[in-house]
Structure 1
Amino acid sequence: MSHFTNLKTSFKNLLHLERALNKLEIPYKREKKIIEGENSGLCNINLIIPQSNKYDITFDWNGEEYELVLDASFWIQPYPVESFINKLSQHYASDVIITESQKIGFQPIKSQQHLDGSNTITLQRWNSTS
């Protein structure tokens, strides 16, 4: 018997979510969903992680964030669910930090992963005085 679970996340940006999945080397595909009702004509982009057992994992846009939809009893990813979410969150956050920092003139110069699994990103900005 299948029992799907919707897990709230803090993933609000599709590009950062896709980059985080790419860093974990997890293949996915995009799915456009047409919004019915008042907003007809608009669409959401959801992400689907195909699994060989056909119990795919999805990130569904709920209007505020991407919810992770899965059936834990049919999970066949390389990491346990909790570890997957932690690793994905870490890569997502790193991508947000680097992207937003670059917008204001910072460049990443060093990224280090520690034994406890945490990361340190070193950014630098040069003052240009002529």
Structure 2
Amino acid sequence: MSHFTKIQTTIQDLNLLKHALTDLGLVWDTNSSHIQIGENNKHKVDILIKQDNLSHIGFIWNDNRYHLVADLQLWEQPLSLEVFLDRLSQKYAYHSIIEETKKQGFEKMEQISQHDGSIKLVVQRWSC
């Protein structure tokens, strides 16, 4: 029996989500991907992450943000769900900040990973 769960995230940008998933070392697909929910029900997802047990993970767009869809009983990732979501959120925020600072004319000068897992970014902008 399948126990799929939909978990709301704060993620709204597909490209930044792709970057964050890649940073986490995950292989994802966006080409007409479906996940199996139960025996006779398939659900289209915007991003598919395959698992060896064939109970794949997906992200779907709903209510102006992406939701993680997975059978939590068959979660087969190296990180627990909570740690996965925390790290995904951090990587997503990192790429959001980098993108926004570039739009404002800043350039990343330094990136320092802190002992507590946070990231210190130093950006600068030259003005004339």
TM-score by length of 2: 0.86
Which residue does the alignment assign to 2:22?
22
Which residue does the alignment assign to 1:65?
65
Q: 1:10-62: per-residue Cα shift (whole Å, max 9, x none)?
A: 110000000001111100100448xxxxxxxxxx9700000010110000011
Whole-Å separation in 2 of the counterparts to 1:71 and 1:115 = 33
Whole-Å separation in 2 of the counterparts to 1:125 and 1:107 = 6
* 8 Å contact kept, 1:108–1:124: yes
Match of 2:68, SS state, is strand
Which residue does the alignment assign to 2:89?
89
Which residue does the alignment assign to 1:38?
none
Which residue does the alignment assign to 1:124?
124
Whole-Å separation in 2 of the counterparts to 1:13 and 1:32 = 19
Task: Give the Å deviation of 1:73.
Answer: 1.1
The share of aligned pairs that are identical, in percent, is 37
Distance of aligned partners of 1:126 and 1:45 in 2 relative to their CA distance in 1, 3 Å threshold: farther
Whole-Å separation in 2 of the counterparts to 1:56 and 1:113 = 31
Unaligned runs of 5+ in 2: 34-43
Equivalent pairs, count = 118
Q: 1:94-130: per-residue Cα shift (whole Å, max 9, x none)?
A: 0010011101110111111111111111111111x2x
Which residue does the alignment assign to 1:79?
79
Whole-Å separation in 2 of the counterparts to 1:31 and 1:63 = 22
* 8 Å contact kept, 2:45–2:58: no
Which residue does the alignment assign to 2:40?
none
* 8 Å contact kept, 2:113–2:120: yes
What RMSD over aligned residues (CA atoms) do the two structures have, in Å? 1.6
* 8 Å contact kept, 1:5–1:70: yes
Distance of aligned partners of 1:45 and 1:54 in 2 relative to their CA distance in 1, 3 Å threshold: closer
Show structure 1 runs of 4+ deviating over 4 A: none
